[in-house]
Amino acid sequence: MQLVVGRIGRAHGIKGEVTVEVRTDEPELRLGPGAVLATDPASTGPLTIESGRVHSGRLLLRFAGVRDRSGAEALRNTILIAEVDPEELPEDEDEFYDHQLMDLDVVTVDGTEVGRITEISHLPSQDLFIVERPDGTEVMIPFVEEIVTEIDLEEQKAVIDPPPGLIDDRAEIASSREDSAEEESA
């Protein structure tokens, strides 16, 4: 099973280092020296990590055979992919690999069917489940503890407790100009 673990950013310095946007919760396991990673596009890889370090909060990697800035720049926007045993589970029981979450049925806490997870979008602030509803439309569910209350891999379902308006049109309006005008005239 292949797992996206990062995306190469800008070159750093003149000796072939690159910044890496980390896309794994286990960078020390997946992005350590000696790791051999497949790439997308495939023509740029495979890449072997020669060294790594953190500088100003960013991961910097150097790959075998990349010795200068132009070689590092040529790798920009390359996706890094690790080969992972499909039976392997993350160390933390509250963490999941994308392949474990794909195709889970999504239901509300009262059992109402919402749809099926078709994609997971990794954003800087949180991850989103892209859920295809039975009518073919899509809804985005933030993968946060307050909304996704349970992931049951045995039952192949994700249980959500959505706030009003997230999956339907029953949004609660906290305040409006009309309410303010009524209060002023009273």
Q: For residue range 68-79, what is the model confidence (pLDDT) as tens digits?
A: 999 999 999 999
pLDDT at 22: 86
pLDDT at 182: 53
Below-50 pLDDT ranges, the chain: 181
- Give the integer Cα–Cα distance in Å for 146 and 124: 18
Instruction: Find residue 6's DSSP bridge partners.
Output: 22, 80
pLDDT at 90: 67
pTM for this predicted structure: 0.58
**DSSP label of 103:** T
**Cβ atoms 78, 41 nearer than 8 A:** yes
- Give the integer Cα–Cα distance in Å for 98 and 86: 11
Residue for token digits 């005008």? 181
pLDDT at 167: 80
